Amino acid sequence: MDFFLKGLEALREKNLYRERELVGEDLINLCSNDYLGLSKDGRVVETLIRCLKETKRVGSGASALVSGYTREHKELEEYLAHFKEAPRCVLFGSGYLANVGVIPSLVGEGDVIFSDQLNHASIIDGCRLSKAKVFIFKHKDYKELEELLIKLRKNYRRCLIVSDSVFSMEGDLADLKTLRKLSQEYDCILYIDDAHGTGTIGEGRGILREFKLNFFENLILMGTLSKAVGAYGAFVCAKNEVIDYLINLSRTQIFSTSLPPCLCKASPTSLKIIEENPELSLKLRQLSEKIYLRLKEFFKEVHYYKTPIIPIIVGEEGRTLKVYEFLKENGFFLRAIRYPAVPKGRARLRLTVSLAYDEEILERFFEVLLKVPFEFKI
């Protein structure tokens, strides 16, 4: 039974040991996904409190198919369909649950999945659970994807192409136009995970609006309410019959309790703020650009793709931890992201920009960066 201790020791040796930390008031958090600061927005908080007072109810008590489907769930689904300009949407407990539940219901043995190399872990797990044959194409290498499609598509029954919209650890965007073309040309379902796109790109509406596209013939669009929306839960939008299919056949939909109703009530307030203030995502982009330009003065490899995810690549795990420790000692919490979230030797500080940051916080942060010992930076 000493494999627990041995396993932990092996992680420590490789500088891959992790701990959860309480990010208290004394630290400024620079790595949350609360891009618009909506998790603490008074209007959203007030909606939740009012709902709890009125309904006097927390949990939903059952899965949606049993008795856990309330008016709050229905209204949020309808709002999401409007927000995403989609035929229909269905809620899931979380983004992780959506990906591991939906993908295996779409494809199985005898089918094929083509998956971007940098897709989120929940997509990878969904693909594994499905028992379909999985081919990974190099990150955003759509030429390689097409070559794989030409060579392999005909050997399988159903085909699924799957990609993040905004890649969670890198911050770049999938090319939705090319993915649409390839998926339609080769008769594949296209599954897009818009977890980081929702609220941040396309006037806050996500990847479809960003590319000025709307096609649900073969598209299944997933998103989460836990990031820019500032709440919790996730959704999948698609054609009417696809949603009916998921309600009946997706195991994390069937065998998991639905979201607390009042949480569902809070999300539309948040989505409405995003919808009525399209300038928020523009402001977020301007702030991201400004921060990126300053970061470049301090670090050699900083990536920026007009999204609020700005990875500062430090490389070696130990050195990345040292920068992280230094920043923490100076009041800023910027988590070191290491394997398996990113490849070995590509450890990074993943700074996420939020409209909750003010000038003063940022100036203080840049002053601290000036003091980061040189040997830690490159």
Ligand X SMILES: *Cc1c(COP(=O)(O)O)cnc(C)c1O
Residues that bind ligand X (CB under 6 A): 94-96, 99, 120, 122, 164, 168, 193, 195-196, 224, 226, 234
Per-position DSSP letters for 208-250, written without gaps between them: HHHTT----SSEEEEEESSSTT-S--EEEEE-HHHHHHHHHH-
Q: CB of residue 291 vs ligand X: minimum separation in angstroms?
A: 20
Identify the DSSP state of 154.
G
Strand partners, 353: none
Minimum CB distance to ligand X, residue 119 (Å): 7
**Helix count (H) and strand count (E) of the chain?**
15, 12
- Closer residue to ligand X (CB): 210 or 376: 210
DSSP 34-51: -TTSGGG-HHHHHHHHHH
CB of 167 to ligand X, least distance (A): 8
User: Which residues neighbour 350 within 8 Å (Cβ) at sequence distance 6 or greater?
Assistant: 31, 169, 309, 310, 311, 312, 334, 335, 337
What is the nearest approach in angstroms of ligand X to the Cβ of residue 171?
Answer: 11
Beta carbon of residue 233, minimum distance to ligand X (angstroms, whole number) = 7
Of the pair 120, 180, the CB lying nearest ligand X is at 120
Q: Radius of gyration (Cα) for the chain, nearest Å?
A: 21
* Nearer Cβ to ligand X (168/200): 168
Minimal distance, residue 73 CB to ligand X, in Å: 16
Cα distance between residue 233 and residue 364, in whole Å: 34
C-beta closer to ligand X: residue 123 or 369: 123
Please enumerate in sequence order all residues whose Cβ is within 8 A of that of 42, keeping only pairs 6 or more positions apart, or say none. Answer: none
Nearer to ligand X, 79 or 191 (CB): 191
Least Å from the CB of residue 195 to ligand X? 4
Q: How far is the CB of 285 from ligand X (least distance, A)?
A: 19
Nearer to ligand X, 226 or 320 (CB): 226
133, 112 contact by CB (below 8 A): yes
Which CB, 149 or 208, lies closer to ligand X?
A: 208
Comparison of 75 and 125: residue with beta carbon closer to ligand X: 125
Q: Which residue is nearest to ligand X (CB)?
A: 95
- Residues 350 and 168: their CA atoms lie apart, in Å, by 9
CA 33, CA 230: separation in Å to the nearest integer? 8
Q: How many angstroms separate the CA atoms of 234 and 220, rounded? A: 13
Cβ at position 234, least distance to ligand X in Å: 5
- Residues in the chain, total: 378
Nearer to ligand X, 124 or 159 (CB): 124
**39 Cβ contact partners less than 8 Å away, ≥ 6 residues apart:** 230, 231
